[in-house]
Amino acid sequence: MVLRRLLSRKERKVIKQELKVKEKHNLEIRDSLAMERTKLANERTFLAYVRSAIGMVLAGLTFMKIFEDPAYIGLGLIFIPVGLGVGYFGYYRFSKKKAEILRYTHEYVPTSPVLAEVTAQDERDTSP
């Protein structure tokens, strides 16, 4: 309240404009960090596919080597190609999403530097 009385109307307007520029810059930082989180989430998903694929292939090999029952050998023969398929699908999905994320990253244009320059020019033009 005391600060409100001390500042003139013009000073408040200047501070408000500066805060808008800073707020816009903060939003762009959040957007940039969101892009990074999206890239990391895509990588984590890919690693989960790889982990599942390796687990399935190893389970298939284990069934074939340890158990002599034809049912387990058959199950092992099923697990190996399914695991390889899961790995291929995970890589395909990762590559597709990575290209999409890269496209969005290139389309993103930060506006804070431009907005800051325009605001600075406006202040210089309106200054006596």
User: Residue 123 pLDDT > 80, yes or no?
Assistant: no
Q: Predicted confidence band at 121 (pLDDT cuts at 50, 70, 90)?
A: low
Q: Given the structure tokens 């325009």, which residue do they identify?
A: 118
Identify the pLDDT of residue 1.
45
- CB burial of residue 34 (10 Å; 0-12, 13-18, 19+): exposed
Reduce the DSSP state of residue 71 to 3 states and report it: helix
Return the higher-pLDDT residue of 1 and 121.
121
Rounded Cα distance, 9 and 28, in Å: 29
Query: 3-state SS of the chain: helix, strand, coil percent to 5?
Result: 90, 0, 10
Q: Which amino acid is at 48?
A: A
Q: Give the pLDDT confidence of 20-49 residue by residue, as tens digits.
A: 777 777 777 787 888 899 999 999 999 999
Residue 83: CB atoms within 10 A of its CB come to 20
What global pTM score does this model have?
0.67
Positive or negative, the Cα torsion across 90, 93, 99, 101? Answer: negative
Q: Where are the domains of the chain?
A: 40-106
Cα–Cα distance between 69 and 62 in angstroms, integer?
12
Q: What is the DSSP letter of 127?
A: -
